[in-house]
Amino acid sequence: MNFENLIYEEKDKVAWITLNRPEVLNALSMKLSDEFVAAIEIVRESKKLNFLVIKGAGDNFCVGDDITEMPRWGDANLIMRRARYYQNMANQLEELDKITIAAVDGYAVGGGLEITMACDFVIATERSKWGMPEVDVGITPGWGGTTRLARLIGRRRAKEINILAALHPGKKAVEWNLWNRLVPNDQLDSEVDKLLEVLKTKNQQAVRQLKFIINRGVECDLYTAQGFEALSAGLTAAVNGFWKVRDADQAKGIMGFLRKDGLWETRRGLAKNFWVY
């Protein structure tokens, strides 16, 4: 696919998405947003990719939605539809069965910050700045600035970030568990490469399962989350060779259905009318 406002590359199981509107600090125009959605879908569908790195062209990550285009968004219903479109974009990014890394330089504010919140790892430069300045434009965030942010740093700090709308140094994002690491301004790319080097050595199926159970478990009660952990433990054993359970079918039930053999006839014969009255 040919993109106009972003650069998409694949190399050695890694997809690289570069938001490419440096003249406006990589503001998310409607065109760029559509291309970002399309690029995420390419990554989602891929069976050969294990990682995704998102960065911004120039010296900035992303300053969020292109405010100059907002008069074109339409009426209140159409604006709500666009917010849900962006929410789905962030959800798709968060749900990828690949490890995602946001490489942040310069500004990551508004929608730019919301992108980082949907990624698994965030590495940023020492000069980076972040915040949610929407309130000073008279609007509110639409796809993570209040929801994911509150889950990551707590409601009190989320209120501070959104209502006061200050721009904070990257150091505070690390201290508040919003981002992972800060690096010197000239070492962002090398640190991303080092992280990828470590991640590539892992059991990728285990990594996929860990991402899934952590993301899902944090949104539910402890016992339900522990259920995900237990099922993941069983799946881990199975995919590592310990899959035979003595009283499991080992596909005999499926093959019985296909062949309509004795096992299928016995099971259905006993079950289909049991306690049916």
> For residues 195 and 165, what is the distance between their CA atoms, to the nearest angstrom?
32
Residue of 9, 45, 126, 134 marked active site: 134
Query: What secondary structure does DSSP assign to 169-236, as a single string?
Result: EHHHHHHTTSSSEEE-TT-HHHHHHHHHHHHHTS-HHHHHHHHHHHHHHTTS-HHHHHHHHHHHHHHH
Structure token digits, residue 48: 């050969």
Residue of 35, 95, 114, 229 marked active site: 114
- Answer whether 100's CB lies under 8 Å from 119's CB: yes
Q: Is 160 a catalytic residue?
A: no
Residue with tokens 């479109």: 85
> For residues 91 and 106, what is the distance between their CA atoms, to the nearest angstrom?
24
Please give the order of strands across the beta sheet that includes 107-109. Answer: 107-109, 129-131, 168-169
Q: Is 45 a catalytic residue?
A: no
Q: Which residues contact 60 (CB under 8 A, 6 or more apart)?
A: 22, 25, 26, 105, 106, 107, 108
Active-site residues, by number, are 114, 134
